[in-house]
Structure 1
Amino acid sequence: MEHLVDLLLKNGIKPFSYFPKAVELEKKISHTDLSALVFLLMKEQLTMSELASDLGAPLSTITSMAKRLEKKGWIQRTSSPKDQRVIIVYLTEEGKILARQANEIMNQALRRVETALTEQELEQFVYLVLKVVKSLQQPEDEYNTSIKKKPTIRKISIDE
């Protein structure tokens, strides 16, 4: 289940917008900020660069977000003991509570999906979701070019 959550978040899907129970959390925090907290909950701590990579956002955007989350008391940032230039981010106790709430909302919804689908259907679902996300992330001109390059299916007759 955690693997599916990780895939959804890393591929730019904002799952919280699809879960009705997330409405209360949305009053406190944005989808992207919530995704960052869930990543930190799963990984315990990340460098700013790792968090930017996981969220698929520029480091400058993540830096602004981290300052905002730190100001609200949900994360802490500290310099790495190995390299002072590297900033490590981790959740505060209040941030962990918020991230656990979000994680539980996602897990409840995903458990419903999991019970509705067979194991094979679940694999197909994950595959298709990722395929759709990749096609939507692709610039339109590249997408139009890739459609034109689709291979044609040839029928081959087999002699007995």
Structure 2
Amino acid sequence: MEQLLELFLHNGLRPLGNLSETNELERKVNRSELTALVLLYYRGQLTMSALASGLGVPLSTTTSLVQRLVRKGLAERTQSTLDQRIMNVELTADGRELALQAKSIMENMLARVQAALSQEELEQFLVLAVKVGKALQQGNDQQASGRKDGKLRKIAIDD
């Protein structure tokens, strides 16, 4: 089941979306913020760029999202000691607590899925979920490059 959670997070899917169990958490943070907290919990300290990539959103969106988390006391931004241009984000103790609550909700959700399926069905489900995740990721990569074949093209620029 950890594989499935990682698959969701790696592909920018939101495993907490549309779950009634998250209503209490969503009084404190919105779903995007909650997803960022969970991602930071699983991956630890991340650069702003890595967090944006993990969330599948532009850096500008991540910047405002992280600013809200910092104001709420759930995350901290620190400048990299190696490169002043790089900002790192990590959870505070309150952020970890909220992320743990979200993780518990996700684990309960996945336990319900596991209970509903036989071992063979569960294995098939995981294989299919990985395939779907990869297909979605390939689609995002191709959209990012603006080409269906996924290749970049050179554009001549006149001086």
**Both proteins in one fold, TM over 0.5:** yes
Bigger shift: residues 67-76 or 25-34: 25-34
1:33-82, Cα deviation, whole Å (9 max, x unpaired): 11110011111211111101111111111011111110111000001111
Question: Which one has a bigger Cα radius of gyration?
Answer: 1
Indicate the residue corresponding to 1:33 in structure 2.
33
Indicate the residue corresponding to 2:121 in structure 1.
121
Within 5 Å, which residues of 2 pair with 1:66-145?
A: 66-129=66-129, 134=135
Q: Equivalent residue of 1:88, what SS?
A: strand
Indicate the residue corresponding to 1:152 in structure 2.
none
The runs of 5 or more residues in structure 2 that have no matched partner are 149-159
Indicate the residue corresponding to 1:53 in structure 2.
53
Q: How far, CA to CA, are the matches of 1:115 and 1:129 in structure 2?
A: 17
TM-score, scaled to structure 2: 0.77
Q: How far, CA to CA, are the matches of 2:40 and 2:119 in structure 1?
A: 28
Query: How has the CA–CA distance of structure 1 residues 18 and 130 changed in structure 2, closer, same or farther, with 3 Å as cutoff?
Result: farther
Q: How far, CA to CA, are the matches of 1:72 and 1:88 in structure 2?
A: 17
User: Which amino acid is 1:55 matched to?
Assistant: L
Q: How far, CA to CA, are the matches of 2:30 and 2:10 in structure 1?
A: 16
TM-fit CA distance, 1:129: 4.2
TM-fit CA distance, 1:127: 4.1
Contact kept? 1:11, 1:130, Cα under 8 Å = no
Q: How far, CA to CA, are the matches of 1:19 and 1:119 in structure 2?
A: 25
Contact kept? 2:76, 2:91, Cα under 8 Å = yes
Contact kept? 1:19, 1:106, Cα under 8 Å = no
TM-fit CA distance, 1:124: 2.6
CA RMSD of superposed structures (Å): 2.4
Runs (4+) off by over 6 Å: none
Q: How far, CA to CA, are the matches of 1:28 and 1:64 in structure 2?
A: 16
The runs of 5 or more residues in structure 1 that have no matched partner are 146-160
Query: How has the CA–CA distance of structure 1 residues 66 and 2 changed in structure 2, closer, same or farther, with 3 Å as cutoff?
Result: same
TM-fit CA distance, 1:15: 1.9
Give the count of matched residue pairs. 141
Bigger shift: residues 123-132 or 43-52: 123-132
Q: How far, CA to CA, are the matches of 1:68 and 1:18 in structure 2?
A: 22
1:86-115, Cα deviation, whole Å (9 max, x unpaired): 111000011011000001000111012122
User: Which amino acid is 1:98 matched to?
Assistant: L
